[in-house]
Amino acid sequence: SMEFLKFRELPAGQNAIVAIACYSGYNQEDSVIMNQSSIDRGLFRSLFYRAYVDTEKRVGMTVLEKFEKPLRSETLKLKHGTYDKLDDDGLVAPGVRVSGDDVIIGKTTPIAPDAEEMGQRTKNHIKKDASTPLRSTENGIVDKVLLSTNSEGLKFVKVRMRTTKVPQIGDKFASRHGQKGTIGITYRQEDMPFTSEGVVPDLIINPHAIPSRMTIAHLIECQLSKVSSLRGYEGDATPFTEITVDSVSKLLREHGYQSRGFEVMYNGHTGR
Instruction: Name the residues annotated as catalytic.
Output: 30
Cα dist. 219→19, 145, 210, 262 in Å? 11, 47, 9, 11
Q: What b-and-e string marks burial along 115-130, b requiring 16 or more CB atoms within 10 Å of the CB?
A: eeeeeeeeeebebbbb
How far is it, in rounded angstroms, from Cα 112 to Cα 108? 13
How far is it, in rounded angstroms, from Cα 66 to Cα 86? 14
Quick one: DSSP state of residue 253? Answer: H
How far is it, in rounded angstroms, from Cα 130 to Cα 58? 13
The total of other beta-carbon atoms located within 10 Å of residue 155's CB is: 18
Spatial CB neighbours of 59, under 8 Å, sequence gap ≥ 6: 65, 109, 110
Quick one: DSSP state of residue 222? Answer: H
Q: Quick check: helix, strand or coil at residue 173?
A: strand
Host H or E run for residue 224: helix 216-231
